[in-house]
Amino acid sequence: MEEVVVIVGAGPSGLATFACLKQLNIPSIILEREDCYASLWKKRAYDRLKLHLAKKFCSLPHMPYPPNTPTFVPRVEFIKYIDSYVARFDINPKYNRLVESSFYDNQQKKWKLDVKNLITGTIEHYASKFLIVATGENSLGFIPKIPGLEGFGGDILHSSEFKSGKEFDGKKVLVVGCGNSGMEIAYDLSNHGTSTSIVIRSPFHIVNKEMIWLGMNLLSYFPLWLVDFITLALARLTYGNLTKYGLHRPTRGPFELKVKLGRSPVIDVGTVGRIKKGKIKVCPEITKIGKNNVEFNNGEIQQFDSLVFATGYQSTANKWLKDYAFILGGDGMPKNKFPSHWKGTNAVYCTGLSRRGLAGVSFDAQKVADDIALILKSNKREN
Ligand SMILES: Cc1cc2nc3c(=O)[nH]c(=O)nc-3n(C[C@H](O)[C@H](O)[C@H](O)COP(=O)(O)OP(=O)(O)OC[C@H]3O[C@@H](n4cnc5c(N)ncnc54)[C@H](O)[C@@H]3O)c2cc1C
Ligand SMILES: NC(=O)C1=CN([C@@H]2O[C@H](COP(=O)(O)OP(=O)(O)OC[C@H]3O[C@@H](n4cnc5c(N)ncnc54)[C@H](OP(=O)(O)O)[C@@H]3O)[C@@H](O)[C@H]2O)C=CC1
Ligand SMILES: O=C(O)C(=O)Cc1c[nH]c2ccccc12
């Protein structure tokens, strides 16, 4: 099938890019491996998830949230917003289409895609002038290789499969990883009758959503270092010194780490309080895993029924995009730094890979659509 623009992925990035192109009268199609849009939010997120950033930083282009939406949007409300977005721009992704490979045909100056129809099992072929990678930073759950993991007799799951602590009532659970997912899942587990432990192996910033709200607003007026200084002063006042609990802060500030390295601060939902009370136990790095126990690098061995790996995600765009080097590095993330990350050579683009959450998604979608419109306009003039 011949198209002008093919977008791979029907998450917020793919949908936002479609809408921005549509506003400029440019038709596009979206190919999505799942049977729905926003699959991360519908199928791979835990029940109690709320957006960490205030709604004004999380809307998609050309459509604000309805006025009665809470400042910190819960998952279900976010899905409703996406539902209205899809209806508003009349977006009809092609579902159950797994893009298996794509390469640039230098002769025809077109992108070619091999797409598996997951219903019929057949391979469909698509070609387009412009290709947009919108498969996300969270395409694949990452579980590290730890000696003995394959022999563990209890449940092993990734944070993307975790729904609620109520399924673990009465169990001994170890959460591995202390990013936003791990810290919130540990809190959720401790709300139910679960004996909860969490592995913390590196320094990270712990803040609360009000501090991030303030910091995001201050960033429009003040330099990064000053915003970090203020945020850290507030964090120290609120939490005190947490080192005796095994929580250490990095030397660089929370906003500097987010902006420069894409590392998110942890936005506390109550986990720190539980750690202070001893309701959630902090463990150091794992050295090996036995049939029903885990050994840590302080020599302690503890028994667990379940392991929840909140150890992050990987982009998979470098796997299916054979000519990824036109835009991405070997890790499936953009080669160029923000704000020049979204455009590659030979009309390939990416949206949602800047580690800037939904605000980054909107920025990219707008940039990509405007650039494609400009190219199409200048081609028209030449012909
Ligand atoms: C638990 C969690 C909470 C988050 N909370 C926030 C938040 O509060 N605020 C914020 O700003 N950001 C948050 N994020 C970041 C989040 O990644 C983005 O907000 C947003 O979902 C990114 O949208 P996306 O479209 O780029 O990626 P995704 O939502 O991951 O969508 C990508 C789509 O591409 C599809 N796909 C992947 N590979 C293929 C393929 N080969 N062929 C066809 N389709 C494919 C996937 O099925 C998926 O539907 C959170 C992330 C996680 C994991
Ligand atoms: N409500 C919201 O808005 C939420 C937003 N998010 C966002 O989604 C994105 C993904 O978050 P998340 O899923 O937490 O993933 P992250 O990549 O942010 O965190 C992964 C964590 O796993 C740890 N880790 C990795 N390997 C190991 C190992 N072998 N042993 C011990 N620890 C390990 C990392 O520690 P180390 O640094 O040592 O490698 C890190 O603490 C982030 O941008 C986050 O902010 C997530 C949840 C909720
Ligand atoms: O939830 C995330 O990880 C995000 O990427 C959202 C986000 C964008 N900019 C930020 C600055 C501080 C904390 C979170 C974010």
Pick 2 or 113 by higher pLDDT.
113
pLDDT at 383 > cutoff 90:
no
Q: Which of 79, 102, 135 to mutate to test the pocket of ligand 1 (most atoms within 8 A of CB)?
A: 135
Ligand 2 centroid, distance to 159 Cα (angstroms)? 9
Q: What is the reported pLDDT for 129?
A: 98
**Which bound ligand lies closest to the C-alpha atom of 250?**
2
pLDDT-wise least confident of 52-56, 87-91, 227-231? 52-56
What is the spatial distance between Cα 236 and Cα 238, in angstroms, rounded to a whole number?
Answer: 5
What is the spatial distance between Cα 67 and Cα 73, in angstroms, rounded to a whole number?
Answer: 12
pLDDT at 71 > cutoff 90:
yes
Residue 282 CB partners (closer than 8 Å, separation 6+): 197, 198, 200, 245, 246, 247, 275
Q: What is the reported pLDDT for 364?
A: 98
Binding site membership of 359 for ligand 3 (Cβ less than 6 Å):
yes
pLDDT at 140 > cutoff 90:
yes
Binding site membership of 356 for ligand 3 (Cβ less than 6 Å):
yes
Binding site membership of 136 for ligand 1 (Cβ less than 6 Å):
yes
What is the spatial distance between Cα 223 and Cα 226, in angstroms, rounded to a whole number?
Answer: 6
Q: What is the reported pLDDT for 235?
A: 98
What is the spatial distance between Cα 256 and Cα 361, in angstroms, rounded to a whole number?
Answer: 20
Binding site membership of 134 for ligand 1 (Cβ less than 6 Å):
yes
Binding site membership of 205 for ligand 3 (Cβ less than 6 Å):
no
- What are 324-333's contacts with CB under 8 Å, separation 24+? 326/104, 327/133, 328/133, 328/353, 332/139, 333/137
Q: What is the reported pLDDT for 58?
A: 97
Q: If you count them, how many residues does the chain have?
A: 383
What is the spatial distance between Cα 36 and Cα 34, in angstroms, rounded to a whole number?
Answer: 6
Ligand 3 centroid, distance to 53 Cα (angstroms)? 7
Query: Average pLDDT of 229-244?
Result: 97
Tell me the per-residue pLDDT of 152-203, one tens digit each, with 9 for 90 and over. 999 999 999 999 999 999 999 999 999 999 999 999 999 998 999 999 999 9
Q: Are 38 and 10 in contact (CB under 8 A)?
A: yes
Instruction: Give nearest CA residue, ligand 3 atom 6.
Output: 357
**Which bound ligand lies closest to the C-alpha atom of 101?**
1
Residue 359 alpha carbon, nearest atom of ligand 1: 11
Binding site membership of 357 for ligand 3 (Cβ less than 6 Å):
yes
Binding site membership of 231 for ligand 1 (Cβ less than 6 Å):
no
As a whole number, the mean pLDDT across the chain is 97
Ligand 1 centroid, distance to 280 Cα (angstroms)? 29
Residue 284: both structure tokens together: 């150091």
Q: Are 367 and 342 in contact (CB under 8 A)?
A: yes
At 1, the pLDDT band (50, 70, 90 cuts) reads confident
What is the spatial distance between Cα 222 and Cα 253, in angstroms, rounded to a whole number?
Answer: 15
Instruction: Give nearest CA residue, ligand 2 atom 44.
Output: 180
Global pTM reads: 0.97
**Which bound ligand lies closest to the C-alpha atom of 355?**
3
Q: What is the reported pLDDT for 115?
A: 98
Binding site membership of 212 for ligand 3 (Cβ less than 6 Å):
yes
Query: Average pLDDT of 90-101?
Result: 98
Query: Average pLDDT of 73-101?
Result: 98
**Which bound ligand lies closest to the C-alpha atom of 282?**
2
Residue 115 alpha carbon, nearest atom of ligand 1: 42
Query: Average pLDDT of 119-129?
Result: 98
Portion of the chain with pLDDT greater than 90, in percent: 98
Residue 50 alpha carbon, nearest atom of ligand 2: 1
Q: Which of 264, 286, 307 to mutate to test the pocket of ligand 2 (most atoms within 8 A of CB)?
A: 264
**Which bound ligand lies closest to the C-alpha atom of 316?**
1
Q: What is the reported pLDDT for 382?
A: 83
Query: Average pLDDT of 290-313?
Result: 98
Q: What is the reported pLDDT for 381?
A: 85
Burial class (CB in 10 A: 0-12, 13-18, 19+), 115: buried
pLDDT at 325 > cutoff 90:
yes
Ligand 3 centroid, distance to 264 Cα (angstroms)? 6
What is the spatial distance between Cα 319 and Cα 331, in angstroms, rounded to a whole number?
Answer: 9
